[in-house]
Structure 1
Amino acid sequence: MLDKIGKSAMYLVILAFSAFCTLPFILVLSSSLTSEDSIMQFGYNLIPRDLDISAYRVLFADMSRILNGYKISIIVTVVGTVLSLLITSLLAYPISLKRVRFRRQLNVFTLITILISGGIVPWYIVCVRYLHLQDSIWALIIPLLCQAWNVFLLRNFFQNIPEEISESAKIDGAGEYRIFFQIVAPLSKPALATVGLFISLMYWNDWWLGLMLLNKVELQPLQLLLRTIQSNVEFLANSEMGAEIIRMTGGRMPAEGLKMATCIITIGPIVFVYPFIQRYFIKGIMIGAVKG
């Protein structure tokens, strides 16, 4: 009887905590559907006082650009996640093996990239002059391909896999690549799924690379496009286009609602990814963080 009461209390606490975690999302959604005058007068509320979709009308005024931004962001996120996960794991696996020569030096070299940065100017020169990434979709992918934090997270997970497994596979004639792709990788699904989520979030939310390396509007990812819209709200309010927007919305420029609406638009696709990998997530992050 006491066990049932304890479990029921635990479930109620978890349910209450889950409901509490959804409040910010509900607040953002409600604010995006509230008129600008109501937000200025009453502030943000969980239930819209004055229902208004002006912010979404402004965002979708140029629907083709929004859809193109979605397309670029999806391509960059999918391609970048696959390539980054492949490169990261192929670096993390060798430095996790005791039999690999210079593994300590490789670990130190990887660690240095976290502690010391080359600076923005050298980074920009390398990307533009040597890698020729300017005004290319690869400018949104290549600079983020390998992150040291993800390398160490996977390395720590790989260290938990007994080397006897790979040694027995070697006796049967398997090479290193076959061992990794057919034995190690399937055993590492929790860690790979966890790191894959981190990488996909990084690519999906990135706007800085586009700002630095892209001049072509048609290559702008969704995040950069929406950031540009937000940054130009005050400018638009005093321009002819702003007057047209105000006429279209029937009131003042929905500056605050526009900020909330951009959050709702950008959060959708990445939220749908999480349910597919949540069963791996906790196990992967815990096991990968055990060893140092």
Structure 2
Amino acid sequence: MKRRKASAFDVFNVLFMLLMMLVMIYPLLNVLATSLSRPSDITAGLVSWYPRGFNLVGYQYIIEDGQLFIGYRNTILYAAVGTLLTLTLTSLAAYALTHKELVGRRVLTFYWAVTMFFGGGLVPTYLVIKDLGLLDTFLVMVLPGCVGAYTLFVFRSFMLALPSELMEAAYIDGAGEWRVWSTIVLPLSKPLLATYALFTIVGHWNSWFNAMLYLKNANLYPLQLYLRRIVVQNDLSGTYADSASGALIASGAMTPQNAQMAAIVLTILPIMLIYPYIQKYFVKGVMIGSLKG
């Protein structure tokens, strides 16, 4: 079989993609190198993409600061509970909207469609959450965004494409709506549920803005808000004694950059380890949203 010769466009495409890969991977290498380098080399600006020396004091400080593990705990809980609520409520609402005999179906559909284009605004949303008594509570991180209009319509479109004969046979056998939803619709929607579960988990893992607005109790902070406190606000105080970071910096054992970059590495490490195995589901989710209409 004769092989096709590489065209100029093929060469350009490969070189361009290699350049983009380097551009994207360099910041990650710099973060890792800075977290492991000697304080003197960091201060002198000698660190680029590989470590200068080997220094784990930054990691030691972050690990001994109990806020890291509190952030992990809270983020895992928010992701687990939030994903369960999102999938349950969204699939229930989408299943209801597939019934043409539902009273007010068009009105409900229009109501949800409007929210895709017009938001309530930051201040009104804050006031509603305050009036509901959700400020500084666990529920404020999982309830407000548990049903999204776009996700709802994707679920609805997917369920409309399911074989109606199966549900009609279940109705004939005496099954009610709850049983049809739980024993027929959900099992047939497993690919959709798995894909959007991953999207929701990653969304909760990266969430920090709502926590910054609605949470004051540090014991409820998610991981990303803890990371923001250290990296953006340059605040190395936490449950670990404030004097500890000052003493380490004064002794030359670490710089603030050591701790900041170590916190970034420890925060993104779980997603980096898992993402190669779940990447295909993200692609599948995008295709579901584009093909189901």
1:89 to 59, 71, 91: 91
1:30 and 2:71 are equivalent in the alignment: no
Change (3 A) 1:242 1:262: closer
Query: 1:153 is aligned with what amino acid?
Result: V
1:211 corresponds to which letter in structure 2?
Answer: M
- 1:132 matched to 2:150: no
Shift of 1:182: 0.8
Structure-1 residue corresponding to 2:50: 47
- Secondary structure of the residue aligned to 1:206 is coil
Q: Secondary structure at the residue paired with 1:49?
A: coil
Point out the more displaced range, 151-160 or 44-53.
44-53
C-alpha distance in 2, partners of 1:43/1:109?
57
Distance, in Å, in 2 between the alignment partners of 1:190 and 1:259 is: 38
Q: Secondary structure at the match of 2:113?
A: helix
Task: State whether structure 2 residue 69 is matched by structure 1 residue 70.
Answer: no
Distance 1:152 1:30, change over 3 A: farther
Residue 209 of structure 2 corresponds to: 208
**Partners of 1:185 and 1:124 in 2: CA distance:** 34
Q: Distance in 2 between matches of 1:280 and 1:165?
A: 27
Give, as a single letter, the amino acid of the residue that structure 1 aligns with 2:93.
Answer: L
Is the aligned partner of 1:172 residue 2:173?
A: yes
Q: CA deviation at 1:44?
A: 5.8
SS at match of 1:289: helix
CA distance in 2, matches of 1:25, 1:235: 21
Displacement, 1:91? Answer: 1.4
Which blocks of at least 5 consecutive residues in structure 1 are unaligned? 4-12
CA 1:290–1:214 in 2, change beyond 3 Å: closer, same or farther? same
Q: Please say which of residues 27-36 and 106-115 is displaced more in the overlay.
A: 27-36
Quick one: distance in 1 between partners of 2:246 and 2:30? 29
When residues 273 and 100 of structure 1 are mapped into structure 2, their CA distance, relative to the original with a 3 A threshold, is farther
| CA deviation profile, 1:93-122 (whole Å, cap 9, x unmatched) | 222344444333222211211211111221
The separation in 2 between residues aligned to 1:288 and 1:275, in whole angstroms, is 21
SS of residue paired to 1:211: helix
Structure with more helix by fraction: 1
Matching residue of 1:245: 248
How many angstroms does 1:196 deviate by? 0.8
For each residue in 1:64-95, what CA deviation from the matched residue of structure 2 results, as whole angstroms up to 9, or x when unmatched?
Answer: 22212211111111111111111111112222
Q: Is the 8 A contact 1:207 1:223 kept in 2?
A: yes
Cα distance in 2 between the residues matched to 1:99 and 1:248: 74
Query: Per-residue CA shift, 1:184-230, capped at 9, x if unaligned?
Result: 11111111111111111111111122222222122212211221122
Separation in 1, partners of 2:112, 2:55: 51
Distance 2:190 2:277 in 1: 12
Indicate whether 1:115 and 2:117 are aligned. yes
RMSD of aligned C-alpha atoms? 3.2
Question: Structure 1-normalised TM-score?
Answer: 0.79
* Inter-CA distance 243–279: structure 2 relative to 1 (3 Å threshold): closer
Per the alignment, residue 198 of structure 1 pairs with 199
Aligned to 2:261: 260
> How high is the TM-score relative to the length of structure 2?
0.79
Inter-partner Cα distance in structure 1 for 2:155 and 2:268: 27
Deviation at 1:36, TM superposition (A): 5.2
Cα–Cα, structure 1 residues 272 and 190, in superposed 2: closer, same or farther, change >3 Å?
farther
Q: CA deviation at 1:289?
A: 2.3
Instruction: Give the number of aligned pairs.
Output: 278
